[in-house]
């Protein structure tokens, strides 16, 4: 059975053309089909309401007419600012060191995890051995300097590593192994330098725009769910009305 939306077929050529726009998706074919179905649903609704123009114009007009998005007020912006103060702090730095256990064909993750747990336990008992064990076990070049990564500011490391080092206290050894795409890390923060929190007035516009985008995406997502629920869709099951249309 082919794919159809309210009796209107979506042919293979349309899918093939759409597919080229989604090569970076986890499942390009599935994403392309879903995008076509959602676009078709929206264009059919635009036809029902007599909205004219090219496809993008009709969809934009439809969403502007049908989706009402409340604007973020000062209270919502201030609450977000206070809950995400680290995001709006300039100059935060940490001096950190780590031991990296890198996953390789000869060193699978589970084997490394056992080694890492043993090393972490040893360091919790004798933290002064960090440099010694980094030189012996770390697969990072920093092992030759005691595991030192020097001073790190925000944006210089992968998100999960950054989140951990900026959360740890000065002198604190992380109580668990950290897993990143590089492998398993044992992490210690040696020193922290506090940055300066930007004033609310300086970032209020940025926060409002961000919250408005979030609110708009949620509202469009809900609207798509309503339209999909009302449509007769054959040949494909949509797991959710998420779409690049709302990005």
Mean pLDDT of 54-66: 93
pLDDT at 83 over 90: yes
Query: Is 86 domain-assigned?
Result: no
User: pTM for this one?
Assistant: 0.58
Cα separation of 36 and 32, whole Å? Answer: 6
Query: Is 163 domain-assigned?
Result: yes
Cβ atoms within 10 A of the Cβ of 127, count?
Answer: 11
Q: What is the pLDDT of residue 1?
A: 45
pLDDT at 234 over 80: yes
Residues 174 and 109 in one domain: yes
pLDDT at 157 over 70: yes
Report strand pairing: 93-101 vs 183-193.
antiparallel
Q: What is the pLDDT of residue 239?
A: 56
Which of 171, 194, 217 corresponds to the end of one domain? 194
Mean pLDDT of 151-176: 93
Query: Is 183 domain-assigned?
Result: yes
Residues 47 and 107 in one domain: no
Which of 178, 194, 210 corresponds to the end of one domain? 194
pLDDT band at 244 (very low <50, low <70, confident <90, very high): very low
Query: Is 87 domain-assigned?
Result: no
pLDDT band at 241 (very low <50, low <70, confident <90, very high): very low
Residues 220 and 242 in one domain: yes
Mean pLDDT of 70-93: 92
Contacts of 17 (CB under 8 A, 6+ apart): none
What are the tens digits of pLDDT across the range 7-24?
Answer: 888 888 888 888 888 888
* pLDDT > 90 in the chain, percent: 64
- Domain hosting residue 117, numbered range: 92-194
Residues 148 and 113 in one domain: yes
Residues 127 and 185 in one domain: yes
* pLDDT > 70 in the chain, percent: 96
Residues 113 and 185 in one domain: yes
- Burial (CB count within 10 angstroms: exposed 0-12, middle 13-18, buried 19+), residue 24: exposed
Residues 142 and 169 in one domain: yes
pLDDT band at 183 (very low <50, low <70, confident <90, very high): very high
Domains contained in the chain, number = 2
Residues 140 and 105 in one domain: yes
Query: Is 54 domain-assigned?
Result: yes
The CA dihedral of 40, 44, 50, 56, to the nearest 10 degrees, is -10
Residues 101 and 181 in one domain: yes
Cα separation of 35 and 45, whole Å? Answer: 15
Token representation of residue 70: 């409340």
What are the tens digits of pLDDT across the range 89-112?
Answer: 888 899 999 999 998 888 888 889
Residues 207 and 176 in one domain: no
Between these two residues, 233 and 129, which has the higher pLDDT value? 129
Query: Is 207 domain-assigned?
Result: yes
């Amino acid at each position: 059975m082919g794919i159809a939306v309210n009796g209107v077929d979506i042919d293979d050529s349309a899918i093939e053309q759409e597919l080229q726009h989604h090569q970076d998706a986890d499942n390009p074919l599935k994403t392309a089909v879903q995008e076509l179905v959602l676009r078709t649903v929206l264009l059919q609704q635009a036809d029902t309401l007599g909205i004219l123009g090219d496809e993008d114009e009709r969809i934009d007009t439809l969403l502007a007419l049908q989706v009402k998005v409340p604007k973020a007020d000062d209270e919502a912006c201030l609450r977000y600012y206070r809950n995400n103060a680290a995001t709006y702090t300039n100059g935060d730095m940490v001096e950190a060191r780590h031991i990296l256990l890198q996953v390789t064909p000869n060193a699978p993750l589970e084997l490394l995890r056992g080694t890492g747990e043993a090393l972490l336990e040893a360091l919790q008992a004798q933290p002064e051995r960090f440099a010694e064990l980094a030189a012996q076990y770390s697969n990072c070049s920093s092992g030759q300097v005691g595991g030192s990564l020097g001073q790190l500011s925000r944006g210089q490391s992968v998100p999960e590593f950054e989140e951990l080092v900026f959360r740890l206290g000065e002198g604190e050894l992380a109580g668990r192994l950290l897993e990143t795409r590089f492998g398993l890390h044992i992490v210690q923060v040696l020193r922290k330098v506090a940055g300066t929190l930007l004033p609310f007035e300086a970032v209020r516009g940025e926060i409002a725009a961000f919250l408005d985008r979030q609110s708009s995406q949620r509202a469009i997502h809900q609207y798509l769910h309503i339209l999909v629920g009302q449509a007769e869709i054959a040949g494909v099951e949509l797991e959710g009305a998420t779409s690049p249309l709302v990005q």
